[in-house]
């Protein structure tokens, strides 16, 4: 019910209600008392009606109620909700929080999620130095979609993190980093694990032999590729350690001519392939010198191939011979 209004039952301005002249004084007193009684009764009734459910209330954005009683009940519910962690949306703002009021110790694990943070709410200026550490990030929490363009630059990465990594230019690896690293070889030796993916430049006037070791001695990953380039006058032969198989056309093992290259590739634990345009049978000789004589005969091992087209004989009209002598 609403508060009731009060009106006098008689009016002093009405001659009918109150004649101008009363012969009976008692009558006048009764009239006056009637009016006073009406005021008294109205005030007493008002006292009884002054209750929250009878008082009107203008609704607000936070409290939608029509009476003071309803408004108080809604307010009590909001206070109760705040006590158990159910704050109305946007009710806690930065201006309402005391400095340092919200600390990491007061926030339960996983309480702050991406869905609860407004877009752009967490900025670099709001984060303390070292606040976001690797230990605080869940696996897979940082994805490409969550990173702004240019947010991760080389200057923001820990020192040494990019060591050994290729640089990107226009989304591609720089051309200079695609080329093989060159390793100089001047004497015979076994292949080393550090040779993986390298270009071995063999520059020597004497013959060089590169031996592919057993997997138990050097466990190159399957798929390893090593390029061998003959840069010097001396021949270059690819040899296999005991137990190692090298698959090559016509059992070729040598780099036939200077400035040619071949490629070794590991297919299995102890199986490698050898390919390249410069391949020649082991023991192949090139660049014969002119003026060979019996006293300077070249001794070749059994099974060596000698290609006449490669032999440089003396000038036309000058006698020249190549002697093949059985190996001792």
What the block records as the tokens of 150 is 């240019």
Domain residue extents for the chain: 179-280, 285-328
Predicted pLDDT of residue 246 = 96
pLDDT of residue 86: 61
Look at residues 280, 277, 225 and name the one whose alpha carbon lies nearest to residue 253.
280
Output the CATH code of domain 179-280. 2.60.120
Q: Report the candidate in 251, 203, 209, 254 with the shortest Cα–Cα distance to residue 230.
A: 203
With a pLDDT cut of 70, the percent of the chain lying above it is: 79
DSSP-assigned states of every residue in 235-287:
-EEEEE-TT-EEE-GGG--EE-STT-EEEEEEEETTEEEEE-TTEE-TT---S
Q: What angle do CA 226, 231, 234 make, to 5 degrees?
A: 105
Query: What's the whole-model pTM score?
Result: 0.45
Given a cut of 70, the residues of the chain with pLDDT beneath it are 1-2, 19-22, 81-90, 164, 282-328
Query: 45-102: per-residue pLDDT in tens?
Result: 877 777 777 777 788 878 888 887 888 888 887 777 666 556 666 677 777 788 878 7
């Amino acid at each position: 019910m609403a508060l009731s209004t009060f009106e006098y039952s008689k009016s002093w301005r009405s001659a009918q209600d109150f004649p101008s002249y009363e012969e009976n004084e008692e009558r006048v007193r009764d009239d006056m008392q009637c009016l006073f009684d009406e005021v008294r009764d109205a005030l007493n009734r008002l006292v009884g009606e002054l209750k929250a459910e009878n008082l009107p209330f203008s609704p607000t954005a936070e409290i939608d109620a029509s009476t003071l009683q309803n408004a108080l009940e809604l307010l009590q519910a909001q206070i109760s909700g705040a006590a158990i962690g159910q704050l109305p949306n946007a009710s806690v703002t930065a201006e309402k929080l005391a400095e340092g009021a919200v600390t990491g110790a007061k926030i339960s694990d996983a309480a702050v999620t991406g869905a609860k943070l407004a877009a752009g709410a967490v900025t670099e200026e709001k984060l303390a130095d070292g606040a976001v550490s690797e230990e605080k990030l869940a696996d897979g929490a940082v994805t490409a979609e969550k990173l702004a363009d240019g947010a991760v630059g080389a200057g923001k990465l820990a020192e040494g993190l990019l060591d050994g990594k290729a640089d990107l230019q226009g989304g591609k690896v720089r051309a200079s980093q695609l080329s093989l690293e060159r390793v100089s070889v001047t004497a015979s030796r076994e292949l080393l694990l550090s040779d993986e993916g390298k270009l071995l430049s063999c520059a020597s006037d004497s013959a060089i032999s590169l031996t592919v070791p057993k997997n138990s001695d050097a466990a190159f990953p399957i798929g390893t590729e090593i390029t061998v380039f003959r840069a010097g006058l001396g021949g270059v032969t690819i040899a296999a350690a005991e137990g190692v198989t090298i698959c090559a056309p016509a059992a070729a093992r040598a780099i036939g001519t200077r400035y040619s290259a071949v490629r070794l590739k590991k297919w299995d634990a102890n199986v490698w392939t050898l390919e390249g345009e410069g391949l020649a049978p082991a023991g192949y000789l090139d660049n014969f010198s002119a003026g060979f004589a019996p006293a300077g005969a070249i001794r070749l091992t059994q099974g060596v191939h000698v290609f006449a087209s490669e032999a440089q004989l003396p000038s036309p009209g000058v006698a020249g011979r190549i002697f093949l002598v059985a190996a001792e």
